[in-house]
Amino acid sequence: MSDFTPPVSDFRFLIHDVIGLGTVANLPAFSEISSDLVDAILEEAGKFASSVLAPINRIGDQEGARLLENGTVQTATGWKEAYAQFCEGGWQGISAPEAEGGMGLPILLGAAVAEMWQASNMAFALCPMLTAGAIEALTAHGSDDQRALYLSRMISGEWTGTMNLTEPQAGSDLSKVRSQAIPQDDGSYAITGQKIFITYGDHEMTENIVHLVLARTPDAPAGVKGISLFIVPKYLVSDNGEIGARNDVTCVSLEHKLGIHASPTAVLSFGDQGGATGYLVGEEGKGLAYMFTMMNNARLAVGQQGVAISERAFQQALDYAHTRKQGRDPQTGDEAPIIVHGDVQRMLMRMRSSTDAARVLSIYAACQLDLAHHLSDETARANAQARADLLIPLVKGWSTDLGVDNASLGVQVHGGMGFIEETGAAQHLRDARIAPIYEGTNGIQALDFIGRKVLRDNATTLKALLADIRETMRNSANTPVGLDHAVSQLEETTGIVINRCSKDDRMMQTLATPYLRQGALCISGWLMLRALDALDTSDASASFKEAKRRSCHFFFGQLLPEASFMATQIINSDMIELHDTQPLF
């Protein structure tokens, strides 16, 4: 497997030149952030990704995580040591509040750093990703005591966190959660039930694991309003944080998965001995609402996995295309590496350009989250939040689909060698395939986008963004092929979506997926124009700027036109029969 080169220059360009560091540095919360600090963090994180995480990615795939006969989960060679180094660097707390022991840095920067971890070793990076979600949930909803006891140890990485939502009958539909939480005299709850697909649900890298578990209290109403959130530590903890007895939660099995082999995906059984001790977070019945508060960050993070695996697959394919000799240079007639062939260049450009577009979308969305949290003006905060809410299903849905496509293209560039596991290209495809599924399938992202984010406010947030796109185009010295048309078409299909869905709400399901993709392409096109504009004043190297210029133009001419294909699907959707009865295939 090829080395991983952290795309630090790309992040520097995006943060300094495209977004503008001032966008976050001008916020009171981040007044101490300097350009140098940003660069230093990107450099250090990149170094950690390339020198510690990337080298164990392949061995993690080969060995996987294993459930031993004694019931413990053994991570792959090097995992425990890498995790210890990760904690030493303080990386877990990069975007956590300083008051809780974190670095208190913008999500913008945390996102850049996280993408590098995902690219270097997706199976490893899932562990901090899940802990970050648990940190966010407890920061927002945990009691003072809970935060004092659990949060600081999770921010330091001393303990990891998990999310226990899914049950066999409750996947996308969490209203079906059946796990039980029975109140005990001491104020705790006895938790019973089985949870599946629990990422890093068990391991021995840390001395404790903090499970966040959705369960129902005895008198809870049916449906999602009866679900509460509980802390269930793997080992019970004394008030001063000392590890006590094993809690009544066991890892029953690990899944045998297509990819991310080194990430232990556990079936956890709670309460086989009568009940695991759990502690209610916040109020009863609000479990799902609490989960929603951390959903944006989690979905952003998964979307970034799509960008990350695209980047990694691209680097590996590019490396191979430079070294593999086959055929002749069309100019000189000499034996040549396959990168001289136009069709290979097309594949590499598809990967490069779509990765750049998905990256700028994710980084822009991350910045909107910072603004939503920290702008002083309430309306401005609300607007930033609405824009982040609009964009995040696009980041998650589109980028993770791209991750699969790009990893598949990466295999293709390798020819026959791509199909051989030793090459490493196939691992990226196997790893990438989970991202369109978890943290809300991409079908659910599309429904979220069309329903909650566009129809619910009658496209107000979307229209404000489209107005910004038009303004950027007016002010730009560049003329991006097709962007104007793409914006007009998105306006047109938005009208169709509003019109048709108001007549038949089943239409939303029919239109959602092409509408998400059209939206993502169009809005990314805007950000690629902003990137193109920013090249003029960037202090990046000439070769970097030339490469990005080509990437932007390739996007406009070759990738953005897919938005028009999606628009046609939407326009033609009135021909799709809504099946009152069982559909016929």
Return the residues of window 343-382 that contact a copy of itself according to CB under 8 A.
343-349, 352
Residue of 422, 471, 492, 539 interacting with a copy of itself (CB under 8 A): 422
- The CB-of-161 to a copy of itself minimum distance in angstroms stands at 20
- The CB-of-451 to a copy of itself minimum distance in angstroms stands at 11
For position 331 contacting a copy of itself by CB under 8 A, the verdict is: yes
Residues 556-575 that bind a copy of itself (CB under 8 A): 557-558, 561-562, 564-565, 568-569, 572-573, 575
Residues 473-512 that bind a copy of itself (CB under 8 A): 481-482, 505-510, 512
> CA-CA distance, 336 to 8, in Å (whole number)?
30
Q: Which of these ranges, 137-145, 239-247, 359-367, 410-418, lies near a copy of itself under the rule CB under 8 A?
A: 410-418
Contacts of residue 219, Cβ cutoff 8 Å, sequence gap at least 6? none
For position 332 contacting a copy of itself by CB under 8 A, the verdict is: no
Residue of 47, 80, 430, 463 interacting with a copy of itself (CB under 8 A): 430
Tally Cβ neighbours within 10 Å of residue 26.
13
**In whole angstroms, what separates CA 257 from the centre of its chain?**
19
Interface with a copy of itself: number of residues (CB under 8 A):
92
With beta carbons less than 8 A apart as the criterion, state whether 309 and 122 touch. yes
Nearer to a copy of itself, 2 or 143 (CB): 2
φ, ψ (nearest 5 deg) of residue 269: -110, 125
Concerning whether 158 is annotated as a catalytic residue, the answer is no
- The CB-of-288 to a copy of itself minimum distance in angstroms stands at 15
φ, ψ (nearest 5 deg) of residue 335: -55, 140
With beta carbons less than 8 A apart as the criterion, state whether 482 and 521 touch. no
Q: What is the dihedral of CA 12, 18, 20, 21, to 10 degrees?
A: -20
With beta carbons less than 8 A apart as the criterion, state whether 418 and 430 touch. no
With beta carbons less than 8 A apart as the criterion, state whether 338 and 344 touch. yes
The 3-state DSSP class for residue 536 equals coil
For position 438 contacting a copy of itself by CB under 8 A, the verdict is: yes
Backbone conformation region of residue 459, classed left if phi is above 0, alpha if psi is from -120 to 50, else beta: left
Nearer to a copy of itself, 330 or 495 (CB): 330
Of 378, 439, 492, 577, which one is the catalytic site residue? 439
Nearer to a copy of itself, 149 or 532 (CB): 532
Nearer to a copy of itself, 209 or 348 (CB): 348
* CA within 13 Å, CB half, 86: 31
Residues 260-289 that bind a copy of itself (CB under 8 A): none
Residue of 58, 341, 381, 470 interacting with a copy of itself (CB under 8 A): 341
Residue of 185, 238, 342, 376 interacting with a copy of itself (CB under 8 A): 342
Residues 517-536 that bind a copy of itself (CB under 8 A): none
For position 546 contacting a copy of itself by CB under 8 A, the verdict is: yes
Amino acid sitting at position 378: E
For position 255 contacting a copy of itself by CB under 8 A, the verdict is: yes
The 195-214 site mask, x for binding a copy of itself (CB under 8 A), equals -xx-----------------
Structure tokens at 289: 């609402």
| Cα→Cα distances 456→394, 449, 497, 532, Å | 17, 10, 12, 33
* CA within 13 Å, CB half, 447: 11
DSSP 115-175: HHHHHH-HHHHHHHHHHHHHHHHHHHH--HHHIIIIIHHHHTTSSEEEEE--BTTBSS-GG
Identify the H or E element spanning 442: helix 442-447
For position 576 contacting a copy of itself by CB under 8 A, the verdict is: yes
How large is the angle between the packed helices 122-141 and 107-120, nearest 10 degrees?
150
For position 190 contacting a copy of itself by CB under 8 A, the verdict is: no
The 99-138 site mask, x for binding a copy of itself (CB under 8 A), equals ----------------------------------------
Residue of 107, 447, 459, 520 interacting with a copy of itself (CB under 8 A): 447
Nearer to a copy of itself, 344 or 366 (CB): 344
Q: Which of these ranges, 14-22, 33-41, 187-195, 552-560, lies near a copy of itself under the rule CB under 8 A?
A: 552-560
Residue of 20, 101, 171, 451 interacting with a copy of itself (CB under 8 A): 171
What is the bridge-based pairing of β-strands 209-216 and 160-164?
Answer: parallel
For position 4 contacting a copy of itself by CB under 8 A, the verdict is: no
- The CB-of-362 to a copy of itself minimum distance in angstroms stands at 20
Backbone conformation region of residue 199, classed left if phi is above 0, alpha if psi is from -120 to 50, else beta: beta
Q: Which of these ranges, 29-37, 76-84, 302-310, 432-440, lies near a copy of itself under the rule CB under 8 A?
A: 432-440
Residue of 106, 418, 424, 519 interacting with a copy of itself (CB under 8 A): 418
For position 88 contacting a copy of itself by CB under 8 A, the verdict is: no
Q: Tokens 């956590």 label which residue?
A: 96
> CA-CA distance, 263 to 65, in Å (whole number)?
6
- The CB-of-499 to a copy of itself minimum distance in angstroms stands at 17
Active site residues: 439
